[in-house]
Structure 1
């Protein structure tokens, strides 16, 4: 659903003080369920981002539960590649809002739309950072279930304390929107059975198509494979005219080998992408660290500041993941 003018009329106006400590600056973005506004913490004199539900969707049954699920999941994750949740509170009318770190940049989706296929090293770098985030989540029993380019935010590393002399070739990527995540031991799973929480069809795994509830961390590996494929090829592996046809294709059709669409993709990297897209979860990588180890030789150099958390996650993980080990490719960049 879209955000209507009456909805926006109920968004706190600039200058409004929320919860006695957040002064509204303005709207940063809006979507079907909520709006993100910039605010200033009055005591800390620090700008933050506030995400709040719109009045029209608050009454839609599971939306408040999803909202609280997102806050609960993200707040548990301590990773430089997950958007930090700083606080959770409510407006006077009872609508909940969460306070997040204020980031400057844009979503990966916008980057892909603006540039088309990305250079191999850059595309791999973004997936490596997402793998670092999801390795932390999966260890805590959290499966995202809705990984997609619009849930990846690109920002400058310099904003987070890195000196300008070490400016990275790759932007810092942060994962957000854990609204339909699955938490181990969470008994309130009925929320994820609704259409609104089903996930985004283009990036859904075959097992998620069959059952939104009975998935594990390997469904996130599939989604990461789809995103990497799309960044390299300029098109997703499955593209159909209707949602129904798309779901059937995901469940039954083999994807076009990525080297047919992007011949310069190194063979070991192409094999890793296609393994992430295996229909059978048991044939995919066992976890995101194995996926990361398989594609790491084709990513940014180890001294790139954006790769620090990736290097820490991969300590002790072999890069020989069911395929022939590849030599480090040339540092020469290929621009698509």
Structure 2
């Protein structure tokens, strides 16, 4: 059990965490954790600090999964993955992780306000997500919870649509674990994830791999371009549909969607993993077809990035 301590549930401005960080303000809160804007005192650098709530901090398995999130994200060193730089405990025993501070909004907020998005705008964001996932998959990690709320938009490289993949909280460590001694925290037979973005194999608790994440990117592309996910409703109904029902073509929602784009997205949404793209690289190749490199400031750099990583691979 965590020590009781005297810290309030919401850390007040000025609270010191570890020997280096000073809390400025609460910027977000969820069922399991809070996120604070803080500062690395020695170098005056803004950081985000994610702190587990008091009750989850008393559950060893939750704490272990929180540690896995920090390790997983810190393993994937990529410009489109949030950087995790430190890990520690508050004075009353609540674990915290220190991340780069992102000034922007998650893609979910963007879609609520602006969906559907144009293909010209959606494609560079999808390519960045795939670049981040390829880097994670190269490290033997499957994210398993790609959704708009876990894609964060910031302004960088001349674009307001530079994205960072966040929240590796339920990441699956594959058998070829690159970090000695790291445990997989997956519960066999349990479906972890967000139903609207879960692949069929994930819904039924079967083994997952990189193609599971690519299904979620397919759902995300579908939502960005149509304003809705393929299946909506109660959790159980959506999971059943993911397994058994065909995905309606995007053209059934918006007849103006290019059939070739529809086909690219629908391949990512195949029920059987073997019929989807095998890798994020392959999915990206399909997105790069007929590409006007002048349509986004990010696209030339993304193309060079994928080509360089492919040569190294």
So what's the TM-score if we normalise by structure 1?
0.83
Contact kept in structure 2, 1:129 and 1:306, CA below 8 Å? no
Between stretches 131-140 and 57-66, larger displacement belongs to 57-66
Counterpart position of 2:4: none
1:178 to 168, 187, 207: 168
Contact kept in structure 1, 2:120 and 2:295, CA below 8 Å? no
SS in 1 for 2:24: strand
Superposed, 1:102-251 pairs within 5 Å as: 102-157=101-156, 162=157, 167-168=158-159, 171-185=161-175, 188-193=183-188, 198-211=192-205, 214-240=207-233, 242-251=234-243
Deviations 1:78-128 (A, max 9, x none): 111000111111112222111101110000000000112111111122111
C-alpha change, 1:275 and 1:193, in structure 2 (3 Å) is same
Deviations 1:256-304 (A, max 9, x none): 1111212222222110100000001101011111111101246673684
1:312 to 292, 304, 312: 304
| Structure 2 residue 270 is matched with structure 1 residue 278 | yes
- Aligned length, in residue pairs: 299
Counterpart-to-counterpart distance in 1, 2:67 and 2:300: 31
Counterpart position of 2:3: none
SS in 1 for 2:293: coil
What RMSD in Å do the two structures reach over aligned CA positions?
A: 2.2
C-alpha change, 1:300 and 1:17, in structure 2 (3 Å) is farther
Between stretches 53-62 and 66-75, larger displacement belongs to 53-62
Q: CA deviation at 1:69?
A: 0.7
Gaps of 5+ in 1: 1-7, 319-336
Counterpart-to-counterpart distance in 1, 2:274 and 2:66: 32
Gaps of 5+ in 2: 1-6
Contact kept in structure 1, 2:173 and 2:183, CA below 8 Å? no
So what's the TM-score if we normalise by structure 2?
0.89
Deviations 1:116-156 (A, max 9, x none): 21111111221111001001111111100110000000000
Q: Which has the higher contact order (CA 8 A, sep 6+)?
A: 1
C-alpha change, 1:40 and 1:298, in structure 2 (3 Å) is farther
